[in-house]
């Protein structure tokens, strides 16, 4: 194995980390503001994937461009979900089992709705871009992965700007840090929670649509990506927006480089084992680990 191969793997991991960040940030936003673990994440990702598919069949535009439309559509879907059910679950400072089971029920509904509408067949989106690559020295980069990376990065920049420079963003950050203090300062928690849920689902749907351009999918799609999102958000410290990017890079690196040591049959188990290990060993994420180190010195 030469240096070029390692570089190739490294580039692949970084490109993967981009979409993983966009995929997990929705979970972080929802957890931060509402302290809910979104178990319906997988269902919305799956809907996003089929949204991209339907769009690619109906519109003569490149599916990568129509994938972006998923963001506003799923924003509205998220708001409707919040209005219709999520807001009735009491909010606490810690995730509660009723909210977990409610969102799990929603995942079941979405998944089986997917089966009822689109059937169980493997679907994929194939365009001239799918197989295109370009070379950069010894490094081969698939064009489509680079574009997906770019879209994910742009969406994250937009999120960052809105969190830093709008009242909604300030409310989100305030509630994430301290719910009660935010309420005392006069934040409309209901409205902020609704918009945050919409935003979280918007990113989830967008990520699903983008991933549909890279992988084939069925209505089961999203389950393993949801668990990766858990790992990433826990690594990132659950409610830190910059932590998500770090978590995504770590997970992407581990997954990409694991093909060197882990047999192909067990590849799929990596994200699940990683989930358990990270929850057990690093419940405070990277940040918590660093703090522990500092205290020890």
Partner 1 sequence: MSAAPASRATSRTAYAVAALALLAFLAVPWVGISNNAIRLLLTTFLWVTTSLAWNLLGGVTGQVSFGFAVFYGLGAYTAGLSINGGITPYAAIPAGGAVAAFGSLLIGLPTFRLRGPYFAIATIGVNEAVRIVMSNLDITGGASGVRLLQAGRFSQAEHYYAALGVASLAFLVSWRVMHSPFGLALRAIREDQDAAADVGVHPFRLKLAVHALAACLTGVAGGVFAHYTAYIHPDGVFSFSTSTSILLMPVIGGLGTLSGPVIGAAVYSIVQEEMVVHFPQFHLLLYGALLILIMLFEPGGLAGLWRRLARRLRGGGP
Q: Where along the sequence are the contacts to partner 1 (CB under 8 A)?
A: 37, 85, 88-89, 94-98, 100-102, 104-113, 115-116, 223-224, 227, 230, 265-266, 268-269, 271-276, 279-280, 283
CB of 257 to partner 1, least distance (A): 19
Q: Tell me which residue of 70, 106, 14 sits closest to 203, measured CA to CA.
A: 70
Give the residue with the Cβ less far from partner 1, 145 or 228: 228
Considering the complex, state which of residue 3 and residue 97 has its C-beta at the smaller distance from partner 1. Answer: 97
Q: Contact at 8 Å (CB) between 258 and 271?
A: no
Nearer of residues 112 and 178 to partner 1, judged by Cβ: 112
Report how far residue 140's alpha carbon sits from residue 135's, in angstroms, rounded to the nearest whole number.
5
Minimum separation from the CB atom of position 77 to partner 1 (A): 16
Closer Cβ to partner 1, 216 or 267, answer by number: 267
Q: How far is the CB of 108 from partner 1 (least distance, A)?
A: 3
Q: What's the closest the beta carbon of residue 120 comes to partner 1, in angstroms?
A: 9
Q: How far is the CB of 178 from partner 1 (least distance, A)?
A: 20
Nearer to partner 1, 148 or 275 (CB): 275
């Amino acid at each position: 194995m030469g240096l070029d191969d390692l570089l190739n793997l490294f580039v692949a991991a970084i490109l993967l980390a981009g979409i993983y960040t966009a995929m997990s940030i929705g979970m972080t936003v929802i957890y931060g503001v509402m302290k809910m673990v979104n178990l319906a994440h997988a269902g919305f990702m799956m809907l996003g994937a089929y949204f991209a598919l339907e769009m690619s069949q109906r519109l003569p535009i490149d599916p990568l461009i129509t994938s972006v439309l998923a963001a506003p559509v799923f924003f509205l879907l998220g708001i409707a979900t919040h209005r219709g059910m999520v807001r009735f679950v009491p909010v606490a400072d810690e995730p509660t089992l009723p909210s977990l089971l409610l969102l799990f029920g929603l995942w079941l509904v979405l998944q089986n709705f997917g089966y009822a509408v689109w059937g169980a067949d493997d679907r994929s989106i194939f365009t001239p871009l799918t197989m295109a690559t370009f070379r950069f020295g010894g490094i081969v980069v698939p064009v489509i992965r680079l574009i997906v990376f770019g879209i994910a990065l742009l969406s994250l920049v937009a999120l960052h700007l809105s969190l830093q420079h709008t009242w909604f963003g300030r409310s989100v950050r305030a509630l994430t840090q301290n719910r009660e203090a935010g309420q005392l300062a006069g934040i409309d928690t209901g409205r902020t929670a609704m918009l945050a849920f919409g935003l979280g689902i918007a990113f989830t749907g967008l990520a699903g649509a983008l991933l549909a351009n890279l992988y084939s999918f069925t209505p089961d799609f999203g389950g393993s990506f949801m668990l990766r999102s858990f790992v990433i958000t826990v690594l990132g410290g659950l409610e830190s927006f910059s932590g998500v990017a770090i978590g995504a890079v770590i997970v992407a690196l581990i997954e990409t480089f694991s093909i060197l040591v882990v047999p192909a049959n067990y590849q799929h188990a990596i994200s699940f084992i990683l989930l358990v290990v990270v929850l057990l060993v690093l419940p405070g994420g990277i940040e918590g680990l660093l703090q522990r180190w500092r205290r020890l010195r």
